């Protein structure tokens, strides 16, 4: 059973010594006065020995206790708690290092969630940060990552003084970088106003300007109190307290979202009459998907094979923010821009030699449509108007738009419902020569037959090189592509490689075409192009194809509105940088080895037909279709995100996935099959 959702707020400051402890204590009093069983918690306390977190005069806990000492207590809930204490009075990362300890956001979040589970009478936790908003926990994380990991709102505390608006602007930008929400802002004074007119003007302007900027957020002020009058100060925070009390009474977020979802949304490959089981995702981090109830799932899908670097990678987000500040979008008709030019150049350098023209598209399906239109226009330009058919192998999948559907498997694919409305294409036997077996030249016999009988109709052959993806996760021998390319050249048909799923290293080669050393006439890529951050795809062709389309004053008849979107181009460039810097070959080779080691235990299990691994793809093929909804629920209970379909239980984790998590994914698959969770 999911644990009860955490109700908490994170009190942080624009810097140190800005009054966070006073604000936290005041909120504690105000909430308890109104009947809310709140507790103030210091996740990390520095300058205090481990056994003195509640008693040391240098600790914050005694201040919390003092604030509520004169009001009716909650006997089962102490007013204060300190989770980790370090003696050195410095930044958390230094204080922990001095005691040979380490801090991480995930570890502190686990501490907080455990504390929440143990204190079942608590309605809300008031978590006070150590130091400022961006005080480091380690070389990669800071205080914001605790709030992000818990997915809770912030109460920001800042001093009201000269320079406040500048400090506040930086703090709000830092909050926005992590996608955090602001529950309230409290301005404090550590010394009295001296009556100076200029100072009074500055303080009033700080409040007014901040309230105008944060129209939906309570912006409150605590004046200087030489002697703390807790009751008076609690009254000043009443608007924020009421907002927090409403949050406590609100329905469980995940239940409410699912209810609203089912009234308005339609999910992929699903029925509105019998809607699918839904899990509410609230955040992502690294190779984790975090659900609204706080559970973390190890991602085994890379979000449909796209998030190769994991989630929230700072380099990708920095590229996104940087380009958004310059130019988020501009039409590509009649205009160009540096991100698009540079991305096209980078792609051409990485694609098989001879692919020289890049046409950007919105998604993988659209990239396939573009490729098909290129082939048709090319053949028309060459005077071959009768070449209007595409030849594709059974077992292929190329997308859900009409043209793309027409070249998907017409028998075992998912688009049979539309067969009569789709353009009639030509199909041949699926490549039956396994990747891990000697090549059998006879596997091309059916392709030869089709070319002998219908070559004059064929504009192009389209297929997924080496790996057929959603059509069956089938790995076939690269030499098949060599033979097929020769047949295409002899027949005057173009060769289109759909590398939307296989591109950017997934199979162990940057593009799967490299396994065979074959250069197609047209190549489609997408999915991982932006590291799973934005939707984008590209279709590249040879100069010969481009010239054949554009000769005699003709133009290519396609132009998506968001073609060459600068945001997506910039993120794609950052993703390509990461691929090189993170040594993708090593990453994928390690994943291949780990998947082979982990999935080997599925061999010989009941109902298992085949187990195969290539690059960062691991597949367990069952004898019969699996019970998808039940099996996916089983995986979620095991703390992993795996989405099986048909007879396939497969893994395509992000390249950054640690070995322990790969083992965990493989173990979940093995145990699920062994326990029969896949059965109807």
Residues carrying an active site annotation: 269, 397, 498, 527
CA nearest neighbour of 387 among 440, 358, 423 = 423
CA nearest neighbour of 21 among 44, 42, 38 = 42
- Judged by DSSP in three states, 116 sits in helix
- Judged by DSSP in three states, 434 sits in strand
Q: Considering Cα of 34, then 35, then 37, then 39, what sign does the dihedral take?
A: positive
Which two tokens mark 179?
């996608």
625-628: Cβ within 8 A, 24+ apart: 625/680, 626/678, 626/679, 627/677, 627/678, 627/679, 627/680
Which two tokens mark 531?
């590291």
Rounded Cα gap, residues 425 and 457, in angstroms: 10
Sheet holding 219-222, edge to edge: 80-86, 38-46, 124-132, 8-13, 154-159, 182-188, 219-222
Specify whether the CB–CB gap between 325 and 485 falls below 8 A.
no
Phi/psi at 111 (5° precision): -60, -45
Specify whether the CB–CB gap between 78 and 121 falls below 8 A.
no
- Give the torsion through C-alpha atoms of 109, 659, 473, 296, to 10 deg: -10
Rounded Cα gap, residues 487 and 83, in angstroms: 69
Which two tokens mark 232?
């008076």
Rounded Cα gap, residues 479 and 485, in angstroms: 10
Annotate 288-331 with three-state secondary structure: EEEECCCCEEEECCHHHHCCCCCECCHHHHHHHHHHHHHCCCCC
Specify whether the CB–CB gap between 103 and 44 falls below 8 A.
yes
């Amino acid at each position: 059973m999911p644990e009860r959702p955490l109700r908490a707020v994170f009190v942080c400051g624009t810097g140190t010594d800005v009054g966070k402890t006073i604000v936290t204590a005041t909120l504690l009093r105000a909430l308890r006065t109104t009947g809310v069983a709140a507790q103030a918690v210091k996740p990390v306390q520095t300058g205090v020995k481990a056994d003195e977190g509640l008693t040391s005069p240098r600790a914050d806990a005694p201040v919390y206790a003092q604030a509520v000492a004169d009001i009716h207590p909650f006997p089962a809930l102490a007013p204060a708690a300190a989770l980790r204490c370090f003696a050195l009075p410095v930044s958390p990362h230094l204080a922990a290092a001095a005691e040979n300890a380490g801090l991480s956001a995930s570890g502190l979040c686990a501490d907080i969630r455990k504390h929440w589970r143990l204190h079942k009478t608590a309605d809300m936790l008031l978590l006070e940060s150590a130091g400022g908003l961006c005080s480091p926990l380690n070389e990669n994380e800071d205080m914001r990552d605790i709030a992000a990991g818990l997915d809770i709102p912030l109460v920001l505390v800042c001093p009201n003084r000269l320079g406040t608006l500048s400090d506040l602007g930086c703090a709000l930008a830092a909050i926005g970088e992590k996608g955090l929400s602001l529950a309230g802002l409290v301005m404090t004074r550590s010394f009295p106003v001296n009556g100076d007119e200029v100072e009074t003007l500055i303080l009033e302007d700080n409040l007014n300007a901040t309230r105008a900027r944060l129209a939906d957020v309570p912006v409150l002020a605590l004046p200087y109190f030489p002697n703390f009058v807790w009751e008076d100060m609690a009254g000043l925070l009443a608007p924020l307290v009421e907002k927090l009390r409403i949050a406590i009474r609100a329905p469980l977020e995940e239940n409410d979202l699912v209810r609203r979802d089912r009234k308005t949304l339609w999910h992929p490959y699903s029925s509105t009459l019998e809607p699918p089981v839904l899990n509410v995702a609230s955040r992502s981090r690294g190779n984790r998907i975090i659900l609204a109830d706080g559970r973390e799932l190890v991602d085994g899908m890379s979000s449909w094979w796209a998030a190769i670097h994991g989630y929230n990678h700072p380099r990708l987000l920095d590229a996104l923010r940087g380009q958004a500040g310059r130019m988020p979008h501009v039409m590509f008709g009649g205009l160009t821009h540096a991100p698009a030019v540079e991305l096209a150049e980078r792609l051409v350098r990485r694609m098989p030699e001879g692919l020289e023209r890049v046409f950007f598209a919105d998604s993988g399906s659209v990239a396939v449509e573009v490729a098909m239109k290129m082939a048709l226009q090319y053949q028309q330009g060459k005077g071959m108007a009768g070449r209007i058919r595409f030849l594709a192998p059974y077992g292929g999948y190329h997308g859900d738009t009409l043209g793309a559907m027409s070249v998907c498997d017409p028998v075992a694919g998912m688009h049979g419902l539309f067969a009569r409305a789709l353009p009639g294409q030509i199909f041949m036997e699926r490549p039956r020569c396994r990747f891990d077996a000697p090549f059998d030249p006879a596997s091309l016999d059916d392709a030869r037959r089709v070319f002998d009988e219908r070559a004059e109709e064929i504009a192009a052959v389209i297929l997924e090189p080496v790996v057929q993806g959603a059509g069956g996760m089938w790995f076939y021998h690269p030499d098949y592509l060599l033979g097929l390319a020769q047949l295409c050249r002899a027949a005057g048909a173009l060769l289109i490689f759909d590398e939307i799923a296989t591109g950017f290293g997934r199979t162990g080669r940057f593009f799967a075409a490299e396994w065979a050393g074959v250069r197609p006439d047209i190549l489609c890529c997408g999915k991982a192009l932006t590291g799973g951050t934005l939707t984008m795809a590209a279709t590249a062709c040879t100069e010969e194809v481009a010239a054949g389309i554009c000769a005699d004053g003709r133009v290519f008849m396609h132009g998506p509105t968001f073609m060459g979107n600068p945001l997506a181009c910039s993120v794609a460039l950052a993703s390509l940088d990461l691929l090189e810097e993170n040594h993708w070959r090593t990453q994928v080779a390690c994943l291949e080895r780990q998947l082979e080691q982990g999935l080997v235990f599925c061999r010989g299990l009941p109902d298992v037909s085949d187990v195969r691994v290539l690059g960062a793809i691991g597949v367990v093929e069952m004898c019969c279709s699996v019970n998808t909804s039940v099996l996916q629920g089983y995986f979620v209970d095991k703390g992993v995100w795996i989405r099986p379909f048909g007879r396939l239980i497969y893994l395509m984790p992000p390249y950054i996935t640690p070995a322990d998590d790969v083992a965990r994914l493989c173990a979940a698959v093995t145990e699920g099959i062994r326990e029969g969770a896949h059965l109807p």
